[in-house]
């Protein structure tokens, strides 16, 4: 299998661990379906753990963007955890790292969702 | 006339012939093939493999890593002479860019130069099982290390095979960073050409050329479509700033298109020049090399 997905939950944040390669074909279709399922299931705070993602192409990038747009419409958020190497390069040149919040540490990433909610609540 | 190729799924069981590659690689290949239900036969070297392959039929043959590039090519020619549709994956500790290109021209399924990436190797072995009628996907029209011309069938599997060959043309005068940029940009443009120009129709082909000059790599991709105007395409991200990055998403949703539209943007950022012809069905990528080739 070229890509493996695992879902876990930390508080009200759904974390999707993506391992391997996410390029046009079965892999991107599975990621797309999984993320749609997560959103349809009610999750509004989604953290994509990219630590073990070795390669991503334009289709993989597009699925992350589509998830970002879908969640934003539902007043939700998607954030990225620890992209590295070529994945980081691809996300940087497509400006995703400037648009979607990204973090080096999972703890801080998860905490940031609460911080956003508190900030919004206080406004 | 060669016999028609047979999809692997048609055969009752699939059998691979592995030529000894030492314990680490043997173990990896055993794990991948056994897990996917292959029967495995073994040979100590090319000579023994040729004898066995004359006697028995195999769906997949994987060479040992210990042989040199020209020996692998000779083995490939002999095997393809008697078993024209067998999938042969070459593993090589010693190779030249010319060896990789010759292997592609002579009909190898794939070529891996050391150091081997186990994940990619395992994936390629699985593709060898799942890809029917693979061996007319890539036609090499010219292949010197400085000038390559290829016709590629419009399907994702052929694109992946071609890209893997090019990844393994590891010219020592091209830095890893430049090579990765060129291969990534090329893959995006190739898939765009196959999807939008060729509609992923396997009866259509994309024409590809590579030229390696002393200080640049030039790549040309021509698709069989009617062309388009890159400036007028609203369903593709062509963002100059992060703010307008997402504007194409709504256009794609309106048109019922799958998530996408970042390929052209990625390619533009990874090479130094990207030039379309007037019709918009032919594009040239230019990447200036970090360090001049010797």
pLDDT of residue B260: 78
**Residue A71 belongs to a domain:** yes
On whether residue A65 sits in a domain, the answer given is yes
pLDDT band at B244 (very low <50, low <70, confident <90, very high): low
pLDDT at res. A50: 98
Give the range of the structural domain holding residue A12, as residue numbers without chain letter. Answer: 3-118
| Count: domains in chain A | 1
pLDDT level of residue B8 (50, 70, 90 thresholds): very low
Interface confidence, given as ipTM, is 0.88
**Chain segment B15-26, per-residue pLDDT in tens:** 999 999 888 888
The structural architecture, per CATH, of the domain B1-135 is: 3-Layer(aba) Sandwich (3.40)
**How do beta strands A77-81 and A45-49 pair?**
parallel
pLDDT at B91: 93
Say if residue B6's pLDDT is above 70.
Answer: no
Ranking A17-26, B55-64, B252-261 by mean pLDDT, the lowest is: B252-261
pTM for the predicted model, two decimal places: 0.89
- Using one digit for the tens of pLDDT, what is the confidence trace for A52-92? 999 999 999 999 999 999 999 999 999 999 999 999 999 99
Chain A, nearest residue to B253 by Cα: A66
Tell me which of B119, B192, B238, B259 to substitute to probe the interface with A (most A C-beta atoms closer than 10 Å).
Answer: B259
Q: What residues are paired with B276 via a beta bridge?
A: B283
Q: What is the DSSP letter of B193?
A: I
Kindly report the CATH number assigned to the domain that includes residue A78.
3.30.750.24
Give the DSSP H or E segment for A80. Answer: strand A77-81
Q: Are B172 and B145 within 8 A, CB to CB? A: no
Burial category of B286 from C-beta neighbours within 10 Å (exposed 0-12, middle 13-18, buried 19 and up):
middle
Q: Does A33 contact B at CB distance below 8 Å?
A: no
**DSSP, residue by residue, B244-277:** GTTHHHHHHHHHTPPS---HHHHHHHHSSEEEE-
What percent of chain A is predicted at pLDDT more than 90? 89
Which is nearest to B260 in space by CA: B268, B269, B251?
A: B251
Enumerate the residues of chain A whose CB falls inside 8 A of the CB of residue B177. Answer: none
Q: How confident is the model at residue A120 (pLDDT cuts 50, 70, 90)?
A: very low
At residue B121, the pLDDT reads 87
Q: Do B100 and B168 form a contact (C-beta atoms < 8 A)?
A: yes
From the number of C-beta atoms within 10 Å of its C-beta (0-12, 13-18, 19+), residue A10 rates as: middle
Alpha-carbon torsion (B30, B34, B40, B46), positive or negative? negative
Confidence of residue A117 (pLDDT cuts 50, 70, 90): low
- The phi, psi pair for B255, rounded to 5°, reads -85, 0
Beta strand spans in chain B (E): 15-19, 39-43, 60-62, 87-92, 110-113, 138-144, 147-153, 205-212, 216-222, 273-276, 282-288
Residue B254: per-residue pLDDT: 81
- Is A95–B180 a contact, with Cβ atoms under 8 angstroms apart? no
Is residue B41 within 8 Å of residue B15, measured between CB atoms? yes
pLDDT digits (tens, 9 = 90+) for B158-200: 999 999 999 999 888 899 999 999 999 999 999 999 999 999 9
Amino acid A119: pLDDT: 46
On whether residue A27 sits in a domain, the answer given is yes
Instruction: Give the whole-angstrom CA distance, residue B155 versus residue B198.
Output: 9
**CA B22 to each of CA B73, B91, B93, B122, B209: distance values in angstroms, whole numbers, following the listed order:** 20, 12, 12, 16, 37
Proportion of chain B above pLDDT 70, given as a percent: 91
Q: Where are the domains of chain B?
A: 1-135, 136-294
B1-135 and B136-294 in the same fold: no
Which chain B residues have any C-beta within 8 angstroms of a chain A C-beta? 119, 123, 156, 180, 184, 187-188, 191, 237, 239, 241-242, 245-246, 249, 258-263, 265-266, 269-270
A85 touches chain B (CB under 8 A): no
Residues of B in contact with A68 (CB under 8 A): 246
pLDDT of B242 strictly over 80: no
Average pLDDT, chain B: 87
CATH number of B136-294: 3.30.565.10
Q: Is residue A94 in some structural domain?
A: yes
Q: Answer whether residue A123 is part of any domain.
A: no
In this prediction, residue A115 carries a pLDDT of 66
Angle at B162 between CA B160 and CA B163, to 5 degrees: 65
């Amino acid at each position: 299998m070229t890509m493996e997905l695992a879902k876990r939950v930390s508080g009200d944040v759904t974390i999707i661990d993506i391992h391997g390669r996410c390029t046009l074909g079965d892999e991107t279709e599975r990621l797309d379906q999984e993320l749609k399922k997560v959103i349809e299931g009610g999750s509004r705070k989604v953290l994509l753990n990219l630590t073990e993602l070795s390669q991503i192409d334009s289709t993989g990038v597009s699925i992350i963007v589509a998830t970002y747009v879908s969640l934003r419409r539902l007043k939700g958020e998607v954030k990225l955890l620890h992209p590295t190497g070529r994945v980081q390069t691809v996300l940087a040149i497509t400006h995703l790292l400037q648009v979607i919040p990204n973090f080096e540490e999972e703890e801080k990433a998860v905490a940031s969702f609460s911080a956003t909610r508190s900030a919004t609540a206080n406004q | 006339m060669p016999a028609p190729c047979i999809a692997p799924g048609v055969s009752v069981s699939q059998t691979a012939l592995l030529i000894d590659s030492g314990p680490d690689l043997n173990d990896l290949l055993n794990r991948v093939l056994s897990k996917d239900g292959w029967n495995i036969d073994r040979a100590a070297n090319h000579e023994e493999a040729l004898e066995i392959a004359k006697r028995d039929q195999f769906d997949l043959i994987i060479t040992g890593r210990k042989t040199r590039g020209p020996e692998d090519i000779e083995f490939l020619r002999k095997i393809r002479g008697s078993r024209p549709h067998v999938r042969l994956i070459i593993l090589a500790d010693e190779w030249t860019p010319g060896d990789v290109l010759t292997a592609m021209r002579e009909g190898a399924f794939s070529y891996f130069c050391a150091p081997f990436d186990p994940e990619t190797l395992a994936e390629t072995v699985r593709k060898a099982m799942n890809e029917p009628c693979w061996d007319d996907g890539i036609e090499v029209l010219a292949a010197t290390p400085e000038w390559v011309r290829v016709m590629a069938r419009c399907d994702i599997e052929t694109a992946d095979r071609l890209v893997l060959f090019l990844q393994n043309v590891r010219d020592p005068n091209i830095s890893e960073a430049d090579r990765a940029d060129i291969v990534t940009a090329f893959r995006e443009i190739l898939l765009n050409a196959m999807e939008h120009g060729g509609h992923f129709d396997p009866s259509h082909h994309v024409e590809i050329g590579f030229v390696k000059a002393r200080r640049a790599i030039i790549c040309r991709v021509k698709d069989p479509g009617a062309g388009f105007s890159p400036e007028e395409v609203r369903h593709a991200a062509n963002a100059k700033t992060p703010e307008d990055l997402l504007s194409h998403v709504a256009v794609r949703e309106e048109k019922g298109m799958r998530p996408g539209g970042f390929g052209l943007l990625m390619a533009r950022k990874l090479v130094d020049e990207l030039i379309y012809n007037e019709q918009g069905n032919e594009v040239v990528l230019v990447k200036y090399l970090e360090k001049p080739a010797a």
